[in-house]
Amino acid sequence: MASHIPFLVARDGERLCLQGHLARPNPQGIALQSGGEVLAIFPGPDAYISPSWYAKGPSVPTWNYAAVHAYGRVSLKEDEVWLSSFLRRLVLRHEAGNRAPWRFEDLPEDYLRQMLAGIVGFEIAVDRLEGKWKLSQNRPAEDRPRIIAALEERGDAAGVAIARLMREREAL
C-alpha cells in the first residue's frame, strides 16, 4: 500500500526520523496501527532511454532513474500537541517561499480541533537507507556518453538531471 505524502526529517539523538500524517479514513493509516517495518520512497529524476542512442543493437528501450528507499519502524502520533507542532512546522516549510504566507495560527480553534481529529500522525525511525539507481551502468562504456548527449540534447529537466547523474558516475 502506498500514499504520496510530504515528510519532515527530524533527529532523535543519532537516529533519523521521518514524520508525516494521513487522513484517518486512509486505509494505509489504519494499516500503520499494527506498527512494524515500513518503506518510504523518495524518487529522484527518471528518464526514457531510447535504443537508438546505442552504438550497436539489437536492443530495447529502458528507463534510467535514481531514488532513495528509507526503511524503518513506524509509530503512531495521535496526540493533539504532537500533531499541531508537526503541522505548524510542515506549513512553515512549504509556505516559506510565498510572498504572503498562509498562517496555521490564523485557523479558528474549533476548526483546527476538528481537522486534527481527522488525521493521524506517524514517525518512522529509519533503520536503513538504500540508494537505488539505474544509470545505464549495464551498457557498454561507449554507449554512456551517447546516452548522456542525447538526454542533454532533448533538454527536459528530468533527462538533464539523469544526464548529470550519469556524468558524475562516469567520473568515479
pLDDT of residue 59: 95
Question: How many separate domains does the chain show?
Answer: 1
Residue 75 forms part of a structural domain: yes
Please give the average per-residue pLDDT across 57-78, as a whole number.
Answer: 96
| DSSP character string of 25-84 | T-HHHHHHTT--EEEEEEEEEEEEE-GGGSSS-----EEEEEEEEEEEEEEEE--HHHHH
Give per-residue pLDDT as tens, 138-152: 999 999 999 999 999
**Which strands form 37-49's sheet, in the order they lie side by side?**
8-12, 15-23, 119-134, 62-77, 37-49
pTM of the entire predicted model? 0.85
C-alpha cell at position 107: 485557523
ω into 45 cis (within 30 of 0): no
Length of the chain: 172
Residue 3 forms part of a structural domain: no
pLDDT of residue 30: 83
Is residue 7 predicted with pLDDT exceeding 90?
A: yes
pLDDT confidence band for 17 (50 / 70 / 90):
very high
Residue 34 forms part of a structural domain: yes
Residue 83 forms part of a structural domain: yes
Is residue 65 predicted with pLDDT exceeding 90?
A: yes
Residue 118 forms part of a structural domain: yes
Give per-residue pLDDT as tens, 90-135: 999 999 999 999 998 899 999 999 999 999 999 999 999 999 999 9
Residue 95 forms part of a structural domain: yes
Instruction: Write out the residue range of the structural domain in which residue 43 sits.
Output: 8-171
For residue 87, what is the domain's CATH number?
2.30.110.10
C-alpha cell at position 147: 546516452
Residue 1 forms part of a structural domain: no
